[in-house]
Every structure is written in C-alpha cells, then in structure tokens.
Structure 1
C-alpha cells in the first residue's frame, strides 16, 4: 500500500554520461489523509455528474461531440508546437496554405486517433495495445512518421534542452519500458484497488508522462488517456471532457506540478491541481453545451417561422453544420438532396439570417461558415 504523504516517486540510474529517472511501480492500493483532496474530489465528481446529466438532456448529442474532439485535437497539438487554429482544422486540405499543411495533418491525425480510440473501448481495455494503436494513427504520414509510430521507443529520449547533456528531464531507459508500461496497464485495470477513478487516472497520467514510452507524441497520448479512462470507467457517459485547455493555461504550471512529483515526491499537489482541472473543465463543458442548446433552439425557431417550405431542408443543413460548420453550395445540395439552384437559394437565406457567413470573397467556389456556432467553442 502506498501513502500519498510518504510517496517515493523513484530514483536515478546512470546512463552513458547522463542519469535517467526510474519511476517506482504504482500498481498498489493508495491511501491519503489530506482533507483538501477529499473536498476537491467531491467537487470534481459533482461537476462530472452535472455534465453527464446535462448531456443526456441534449438531443442528438453526437452532433456536438465532433466539435469537442476537434477543439481538443487543436489545443493538445498546440501544446506540442503546431499552429493550426480551430477554424483551420475544420477546413478541407485544399483550403489550407501549403506551409501549414503539416500542422493541419497532425491535427487531423489526432481527431482520427481520438475517434478510433473511443470506438476501440467497446472491445479493448485501456492497454498497451490500445495505446500503441492510437499512437500509430497519431503519427501516420506526418513529421513524426520516422519516430516508430505504434511502437515503444528503442532508444533514450529526453524532455527539454537540445541533447541529453542539457535535458530538463530524462525518462527511464527504453529497456525498462515493457515492465513499467505493464505495471501501468495493471494499475488502470486492477479492480481490486479501492481508489476513486479520478485519483487513479491522475496518478496514471503522471506515470505515463514519466515513462514517456514513445519517441514522439507522448503528451498528446497521455492527455487523451485521461478521457479514455473516464469513458471506460463510465465516469463520463460521453467523451465531452478534455483537459488540454486547462493544462495549457499556463503550460508551465502543468509541467511544474508533474516535475515536483519526481523532484519532491509531491504527488499530493499534483492531484489537487488535477482535480481542480477536472472541476473547471467540466464546468466549462456544461456552459458550452448550454450555449449550444440555446443556439440550436433559436436557429430552429427562426427557420420554422421564416423558411416555410424550405424549413425541413434548412434544419437538415443546420444539423450538418453542427458537425462541421463549413459548407459549400454543392455540399448543401448533396445533404438536402436538392438542385444546385435550390441549395444556392437556401444558403442565401441562411446567410441573410446570419446563420452562414461567406468566407472566401470569391464569386465561384464559395465557402460558408456557421460562425455563430463555431464561436461557441472558442
């Protein structure tokens, strides 16, 4: 049994001219005596319960999930240095400037990786297999494609600095990854450990980031692991909660809290920070869902009142816009199964009512966005 108050994170061992950190195993029961953790745990759990309840009230909740996923992909990738914006991520590749396409592709890979990982939870536990499969999708045909997509690293990596000589942190040698990831996998799936799910994933996230099992993409996979675990454990009914925005603001605080575990054995402070992040992120997700509901209701009321015979097609188009707020007239024609001229008339009506905005300024091949909806995710 491990006590949070007396937790020992691990030790250093000698490499070739450097020292790497070896974390202690975590697959044990944990205890704590800190009343603040209990208080924060209760607040976080209440907000997650509110988010779950609210999501059940939202009709066609799947309409909104994809935008949440896209936002997470953008923010989580931005933490790692990509420059793609939320609006860019939703555009087709042909609309992206050539010099920004690598960043765009990384975000698209992350969206695909999230969706596939969530789907995989139906048949797989949170496991090294699932994690490697997700990593393979993440690094497919992008700048990390030569960094062993889908495979644990077979060489030493480091965090910060230009080399091992000036690195801020050096994870364990690759020869220990198998056993360390095995311990982490057992911990995540050990039903004999009497530990609240939020505390378990807080500890597991730290451990994953410390092991740093891949040559690239560890941060994104580690952050995604939080949502996957909460969905698998049915703490979340829907994948609507992602902590990347909280971790990003400010990013240094996130890294400092992780580092303090290794340097000061301070797991308690990390868990407090993590639980605050859960509560604040769940609160924001509820606010976003509430705003989405108001937008959807107001837009549908406007359409039913003003569009008459075109109202059915306009609402069909509106629902498509809530999956991806960008659209062309050809898209509208296909979605509504109507002629180009009819789609053009419908798009013009929705533009007049500020449900769509033309963004190219061109006379042909125009692209429209439902900006009032997209802005709800900022």
Structure 2
C-alpha cells in the first residue's frame, strides 16, 4: 500500500491540533518577549541597527547552509549594508548569490506588515536565485514529473515525500495565501498564538512545495513573517540558526508531519519549542550587545590602537567567544606587534579593570 501524504487527506488543509502540550512554552515565550523588549530599550539606535544587520546576515548564512549552499559571511554583510545605504566594501558585493539572499532578507523584514501575495513570493524566489537564468524562476513549478524529496544512491532511492502535482499549485497557493492573510493578528481576527501560526505556516507551505527549488528558505522566512506580525515589529530571532544546529531533527519532524493524518500536534510541539530556543539564543545576543556597548562606554577611551583592534576582533566572535581565549601569540598575529608589546598590552587592562 502506497504512503498517503497529508495533502491527499480529504480534510486537507484543515489541520487539527491540541495546544495543551505547548501552553507552558507559549507562556515562557511571551515572558521572554517582554524581557527582550526591555533589553532592547537600553540599546542605542546605532547598536540596534547593527544587531538587526547581524541577525539578517546570520539568518541568510544559516538558511542557505541548511540547503547545502555555502556563502561568504562578509560578502552577505557587505551586501546587506549596501542595500541599507550604509558603508560597505565594494569588493565584497560581487557575488550575486550573496547579494540576492541579502536583498531577500531585507525585503522580508521591511514588508512584514504587508499582505502576502503571489507577486511577493515570486519576487522573493527570484531574489534568492539572483544570477541564475532558470526558466522556472519566479513562478510555480510546472514540470509533469512528480516533485519528490529523495535520498539514497541511484537505484536505491528512498522517497521521503511527494508534493502535490504542478497542476494543483494555483489553487493550493491561493488557499494558502488566503489562510495566511486571514489569520494575520494585525487584522484583529481570531488570534492563533504567534509561534503556533508560524509552525502551521511552515508546514503548510512546505507540504505544497510550490517552487522547483528554494522552498525551505522561503518557508522559514514565512514563519518569521508570521512571528513579526504577531509582535508588530520585525522579530529578533535566529530561527534558521537554531534549525541548522539540529538539522536532522528538523527534517525528521517535517517528514513525519507531512505524512498521514491532519493532526499536527507533534509538529507544533516541535516547532514552538524551536522558536523558544531561538528566542533564548537571541536573548544571549541582546545581553552581549548591552555588555559590549557598556564596555566601549566605560573603557574605550583607555585603549591604544592595537588593543582596540584586538577587542574588536574578539567581539566579532559574538556570544560564542574567542576560541581558546587570548594569548600573546594571538595578539601578535592580529596586530603584527612584538612579543614585548603584546605582553604589555595584555597586562595593562588588568590595571584599569580593577
């Protein structure tokens, strides 16, 4: 007997679920949302802007890595800064992939209040494949061959999922877009909790799989759009970063949820917890930004040029920190100074931090 996929169920797309298993997580999410807002209120506008840029850069990098595409983080950063009208390195804005994903991330954040539309989805699809000339860019897939997610070697393929035929896509996506816009909390309609709506959005979109490629990247950012609409401002979450850290679990949960019955309680449980984990990561990042700004305000004027260069290099590693700490050898390599200078500069901070 062939496997039934969720879209083949007569009840599709009327998902059912029980939220009792995520009530505590939803409560914690709401509490941390308030805490994050309080933390951000203490950050300067300049730092808020840099935090937003860092977020977009890391999300662009990680959402691409999930799909097996490696991009240069500094090229993405420079492309984001260019798009925002900020200073950038022209030498690092040549890769069309980096420019495209940067444009995509900015568009998603700047248009979070807008209704979702077929036109916008097509624009995003062209953005993430900037530089390519595929005939199916910016439109629903049209091939007659089944859209299958397959693993394994030739002759030993395992079919994990088969999406609806291309002939159904206009109707399926019309229904999806209507549902997404009708459940927008900014319209004042019956409200689905933000993380729950984000979970349904992602699964619903991925099950349809409307594009020949790029469905994962667009699907994850649609979840972030849903979260932003719930908050009323662009969400400060690194959702793709969290998903990439547990990529096998993500694909397993997505595969299981896309088969069989319409009850998606397990998927919602998984996804809501993933959103909450991403939120806790963001909290660490906000605390880091606050501490960094406090450091520069208190000690920036005491640093010589070499010390400032090293501190900026350490801060570049963000929450993860500088691997192995700082040593005289590392200091010498970063600043190209003598061992005596490195030792003196590393000892000097102790006298003014006390």
Does TM-score exceed 0.5, indicating one fold?
Answer: yes
Quote the offset at 1:93 in angstroms: 7.1
Q: Deviations over 1:47-99 (max 9, x none)?
A: 23322332233211112101110000011101111223535644657469xxx
Structure-2 change in CA distance of 1:193 and 1:293 (3 Å): same
Aligned residues of 2:238 and 2:282 also touching (Cα < 8 A): no
- Structure 2 length-normalised TM: 0.74
Match of 2:23 among 35, 38, 49: 38
DSSP-derived class of the 1:168 partner: strand
DSSP-derived class of the 1:183 partner: helix
1:1-378 matched pairs, under 5 angstroms: 9-11=6-8, 24-26=12-14, 32=18, 34-60=19-45, 61-87=48-74, 89-90=76-77, 92=89, 94=91, 105-122=96-113, 124-142=114-132, 145-146=133-134, 148-155=136-143, 156-161=146-151, 167-191=159-183, 192-233=189-230, 235=231, 237-265=233-261, 267-305=264-302, 349-350=304-305, 352-355=306-309, 370-376=312-318
Aligned residues of 1:9 and 1:24 also touching (Cα < 8 A): yes
- Structure 1 length-normalised TM: 0.69
Aligned residues of 2:75 and 2:98 also touching (Cα < 8 A): no
Structure-2 change in CA distance of 1:163 and 1:65 (3 Å): farther
Distance 1:294 1:23 in 2: 52
Distance 1:54 1:211 in 2: 39
Pairwise CA RMSD of aligned residues? 2.9
Aligned residues of 1:117 and 1:130 also touching (Cα < 8 A): no
How many residue pairs get aligned? The number is 294
Aligned residues of 2:237 and 2:279 also touching (Cα < 8 A): yes
Give ranges in structure 1 of 5+ residues lacking alignment.
Answer: 1-7, 13-21, 307-348, 358-369
Deviates more, 1:57-66 or 1:67-76: 57-66
